[in-house]
Structure 1
């Protein structure tokens, strides 16, 4: 049986997988590029298939502690007047939490049961029928029975084992940028959203100290996902001339040293495994636009650990989890149309639907 498992990435998927592997008799080692547990502060949902997993991990009380204060979504015009108010989509069904806080909670559950190699990364993978020889940037080379890439959209393990990112990552033409405020917002229970065709800007209350999000359509194709100055220039250009509170929010973004930026993308591989190397979370099947990527990452990590422990193997893991992922991937276009309508007509139709629906308010 596979026993020594290397997990690349200490985020949501990696920490969850390490927890369940350790509890099933495996010896997980987690390598993480940063010098500690890091993730964006974007609010994400823990819903649906993730709920029984986090309940079994005993972290539900901690998730209650870190749940955001957002209860409603308020669509607003450029003058700040209300278009419609809706209940949060997952209200009462789970938890909306900052991704960084979620990653920290999950890490705390497993830090004593797994080996962690921070400030390091995998640089080479060589596998044979018996295992995988792994070369690290800093640590000495080691051999593992299985290697799992839980290292996100821009996965190093996927690149080394499967091929270049361009072969498997399909941008959908939308970018997202976020930055925290570090101070309270005016509406501590409302997510304020202002749209113009092809652009959305939001103020989220988080947990008392809010943040801003920019989600926009763009023809930009080439960017360096590690170049924060470039990211700020792209966002600034995309929102030139926008009204409402956009100039103020852009000032905050440009002054911030904590900016998350990336292209919204779908990861599509014919198989998530090659020999003794496999992928989980966004590295395998990034689909997130509405915050449910973390729920799928938690569920997928648990499914993988269970399959390894019960003999279902990598094929069993993939068959089971793809059934959850595929509907989400097919729904990305609809989610994009709702969040960031391309035209004034599309925006008017979305706003009319929001006034009619209102989520029970």
Structure 2
């Protein structure tokens, strides 16, 4: 009889884990609070060893067919004048794809033999001798052999298992927002970045030339804004960027018609342990690093390792969870360290630091520095050695 695994979260980490669990002979079920797959979202990139992982999954060509094919990022001043530019590899890696497109690819590769439950979520977990009794907001209680929380930084599974989020979340002093508006700038596979002290606007248009992807980063202490209160979030953005200048007035005017808004703090998650009993965490639920930490690729790598160790352990989930954590702790540490200062870099807090950051962009964007900076941004991606779980045990060591 196949081991049943309930995965909370149908973003990226969850379906990636379902992909590998199914391949290893498990019976995964994915539950997702949203009523359907989440479309759109900011772009995510892959580089280094992560490309090997995509090849092993057989999805690299699918990703290339949907890649943003972004070109350079141009840093401009308040009048729109270019002050520096960065090659695409710095921000877009070896291949870049919008989050919604990647989610769809993973779903399409798993939907035929993985159970997906949309519009529901876990409300209770009760471990028994041979499994976990799971209560849902809408569905009937069910028992699974194992439960995986792949439900993001604000993980409900983590809260039920380890306690309130505030115990494990470290805020980095910045907030970020992302949304899509019509491409009134006419950008074509290129991005622009404009910063004033403590605030940054980034715009880009890739595969869909009609759409302009907007990302905002601004310095901020804790904000009393509910996660699903989009209207209040929009008001905060309007207030914070009212005097920004450049293209901000037009972007803010379009914000009122935006249906899908991402708004959150830049934060990291630090836990002493990622599992308890038959429940384990994956991706941002376990180790959220923040932008610049190669988080998407790291989550998919973690999914590969977790499924591989579960299969190798032949039913000993505690041993599998321990091996998974042992192999991922080092790369996660690199990722979190790499991302810890990203807010200060993206939205420097003083005029001097904005100018200094732009000088760094010019230096790092020069041809002699390209290889050095590419190595720096690839450290998290290359910190994991992808073990071949299909090889005989003796060969794997």
Asked if these proteins are the same fold (TM beyond 0.5), I'd say: yes
Deviation at 1:129, TM superposition (A): 3.5
Between Structure 1 and Structure 2, how many residues are aligned?
361
Matches within 5 A, 1:1-361: 3-38=3-38, 40-90=40-90, 93-183=93-183, 185-207=185-207, 208=209, 209-290=211-292, 292-311=294-313, 313-360=320-367
Q: Cα–Cα, structure 1 residues 183 and 345, in superposed 2: closer, same or farther, change >3 Å?
A: closer
User: 168-177 vs 3-12, which deviates more?
Assistant: 168-177
* SS in structure 1 of the partner of residue 179 of structure 2: strand
Checking the alignment, whether the CA contact within 8 Å between 1:17 and 1:301 is kept in structure 2 is: yes
User: 130-139 vs 13-22, which deviates more?
Assistant: 130-139
Whole-Å separation in 1 of the counterparts to 2:86 and 2:183: 24
Deviation at 1:91, TM superposition (A): 7.2
Deviation at 1:173, TM superposition (A): 1.2
TM-score by length of 2: 0.87
* SS in structure 2 of the partner of residue 232 of structure 1: helix
Checking the alignment, whether the CA contact within 8 Å between 2:70 and 2:92 is kept in structure 1 is: no
Deviation at 1:93, TM superposition (A): 4.9
TM-score by length of 1: 0.95
Measured on the aligned residues, the alpha-carbon RMSD in Å equals 1.8
- Encode CA deviations 1:249-306: one digit per residue, 9 max, x unaligned: 1111232112111111101111110110011011111112137211111111111111
Checking the alignment, whether the CA contact within 8 Å between 2:31 and 2:120 is kept in structure 1 is: yes
* SS in structure 1 of the partner of residue 153 of structure 2: coil
Q: Cα–Cα, structure 1 residues 325 and 49, in superposed 2: closer, same or farther, change >3 Å?
A: farther
Whole-Å separation in 1 of the counterparts to 2:91 and 2:362: 18
Checking the alignment, whether the CA contact within 8 Å between 2:176 and 2:215 is kept in structure 1 is: yes
- Encode CA deviations 1:44-76: one digit per residue, 9 max, x unaligned: 112234322221111111111111131111000
Which ranges of structure 1 fall in alignment gaps of 5 or more residues?
A: none
Structure 1's consecutive aligned runs of 4 or more residues displaced over 3 angstroms after TM superposition are 89-93, 182-185
Whole-Å separation in 2 of the counterparts to 1:220 and 1:92: 30
